[in-house]
């Protein structure tokens, strides 16, 4: 799009705005310097208003910045060129199959994690039952303890088993289940996002259409 010569983007922060737009364009001062055959220091001075580029260079740069500013503010309608569409479609053809595979991997991992969740819940129930059983056995031994009985060794052994059960419970209790549930939800969210994006691209671009 051709522009007639304009002095600059109308703003009280001309230099800052131009520097910001250059960065948004993904262009470094060194790259501009190479294009205009000047030093990087000269570009720095030009952006700070201490130097002026050659009139033709200044016009080119002003038009580039002005068009970007108008696209950014909606004064000029944005569009995707045929060249861009063809380039992106070629890239979509490369990545879409991989995205589908990644989505399938996510769903497979979700199934495995759900199985792990069921096992974790089952282990938690079994461990709590074990604690009840050991506690009951210890109480019975202590209640029936009589002079001459050799229950102390059994009580100590059952207490060790009970402590082991408590340690095991901490590896599968509700907070650990919540962590695993979070992983499942995150994995499911990733799978949904991949699917939505893949369907959106197929509808809007249909890169595999011949």
Average the pLDDT over each of 52-56, 112-116, 133-137, 154-158 and give the range with the smallest value: 52-56
The pLDDT assigned to 48 comes to: 87
Count CB neighbours of 70 within 10 A: 16
Average pLDDT over residues 103-131: 97
- Measured distance CA(25)–CA(31) in Å, rounded: 12
pLDDT confidence band for 51 (50 / 70 / 90): confident
Inter-residue contact 49 to 56 (CB < 8 Å): no
- Measured distance CA(147)–CA(141) in Å, rounded: 12
Between 88 and 9, the higher pLDDT residue:
88
Question: Model's pTM, two decimal places?
Answer: 0.63
Which tokens belong to 170? 């901490």
- CA neighbor of 197 nearest in space, from 109, 105, 92, 111: 92
pLDDT tens figures, 58-82: 899 989 999 999 999 999 998 878 8
Count CB neighbours of 128 within 10 A: 15
The pLDDT assigned to 86 comes to: 81
State yes or no: pLDDT of 187 exceeds 80.
yes
The pLDDT assigned to 3 comes to: 45
Mean pLDDT of the chain: 87
Average pLDDT over residues 156-168: 96
Q: 149 — alpha (psi -120 to 50), left (phi > 0) or beta?
A: beta
User: What CATH architecture is 14-73?
Assistant: Orthogonal Bundle (1.10)
Question: Of the spans 71-75, 141-145, 172-176, which averages the highest pLDDT?
Answer: 172-176
Average pLDDT over residues 139-144: 88
pLDDT confidence band for 147 (50 / 70 / 90): low
Inter-residue contact 162 to 134 (CB < 8 Å): yes
How many CA atoms, within 13 angstroms, populate the side-chain half-sphere of residue 112? Answer: 7
pLDDT tens figures, 99-115: 999 999 999 999 999 99
State yes or no: pLDDT of 42 exceeds 70.
yes
The domain locations on the chain are: 14-73, 82-204
Count CB neighbours of 132 within 10 A: 12
């Amino acid at each position: 799009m051709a522009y007639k010569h304009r002095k600059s983007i109308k703003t009280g922060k001309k230099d800052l705005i131009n520097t910001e737009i250059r960065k948004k364009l993904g262009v470094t001062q060194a790259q501009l310097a190479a294009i205009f055959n000047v030093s990087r220091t000269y570009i720095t001075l030009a952006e700070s208003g201490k130097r002026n580029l050659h009139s033709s260079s200044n016009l080119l740069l002003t038009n580039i910045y002005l068009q970007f500013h108008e696209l950014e503010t909606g004064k000029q309608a944005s569009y995707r060129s045929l060249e861009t569409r063809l380039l992106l479609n070629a890239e979509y053809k490369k990545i879409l199959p991989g995205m589908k595979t990644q989505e399938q991997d996510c769903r497979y991992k979700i199934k495995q994690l759900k199985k792990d969740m069921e096992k974790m819940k089952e282990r938690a129930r079994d461990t709590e039952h074990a604690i009840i059983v050991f506690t009951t056995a210890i109480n019975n031994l202590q209640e029936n303890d009589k002079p001459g009985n050799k229950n102390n060794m059994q009580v100590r052994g059952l207490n060790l088993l009970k402590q082991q059960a408590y340690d095991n419970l901490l590896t599968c209790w509700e907070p650990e289940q919540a962590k695993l549930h979070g992983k499942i939800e995150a994995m499911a969210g990733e799978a949904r996002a991949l699917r939505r994006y893949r369907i959106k691209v197929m509808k809007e671009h249909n890169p595999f259409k011949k």
